[in-house]
Amino acid sequence: VIEENNGVYSVDVNLQTKEGYKFTGHYDGAIKIPNIPGEHFSTLTGDHEVDFTGASTFGTFWGSKYGESTSYFQMSFEGPFEQNPDTYLMDGKGEIVYFELVTDASTAEDGIPAGTYTVGSDKDNPKVNELIPGYQNELGQGVMYGTYYIGAYENGYPSICAGAMTGELTVEREGANYIFDFSFYDDLGNRWYGHWEGEFI
């Protein structure tokens, strides 16, 4: 039984398993429901420059997921988190940037071609030289996909986050060494941007 009054919920639980075991409970208070359809999910309150100090990197090549003559890359940059090691769900401060983009590279060994990648408008049908825009799981679980930023977790959900709705990433490279410069805007008009250079694991 769920009752609500001005954002405060009263929840009474009285359930029974197939084997006949009962469990009951009661809760009074607010309930956070992430990713309500039609609402903004960015929690940035202003522009933000990403700090890549101490960040680990990881890149994955997924081949021609979005059609022939294309290749799909995922890259993650994850900084050190300040969190309790006994916490099961990731909580605490840290910075993560995740890129998903489509190129015309033939193989993983070719790497990410140098050039400018623009945030696309269709997450399901990105084109060559486009980044997949940031979005959340449609089931409201707070899980993020595409190109996005996370600055902290709370109770297992991103509490500081922003998707890339518009903007671009410039990639320069010399052999295995890459230079990334990016500037994106979230769904509230906040700019998040940064610079990174190095090699992917």
Q: Is the whole-model pTM more than 0.85?
A: no
- Calculate ∠ Cα 150-140-36, nearest 5°: 95
Predicted pLDDT at 134: 94
pLDDT tens over the chain, length 201 residues: 999 887 788 999 999 999 999 999 999 887 766 545 556 789 999 999 999 988 899 889 998 888 887 899 999 999 887 766 666 666 778 899 999 999 998 888 888 999 999 999 999 999 999 999 998 876 655 678 999 999 988 877 788 999 999 999 999 999 889 999 999 999 999 999 999 999 876
- Cβ–Cβ under 8 Å, residues 94 and 84: no
Dihedral of CA atoms 72, 68, 182, 174 in degrees, nearest 10, equals 80
Tell me how far apart the alpha carbons of residues 17 and 19 are, in angstroms, rounded to a whole number: 5
**Up-side HSE of residue 138: CA atoms within 13 Å toward CB?**
1
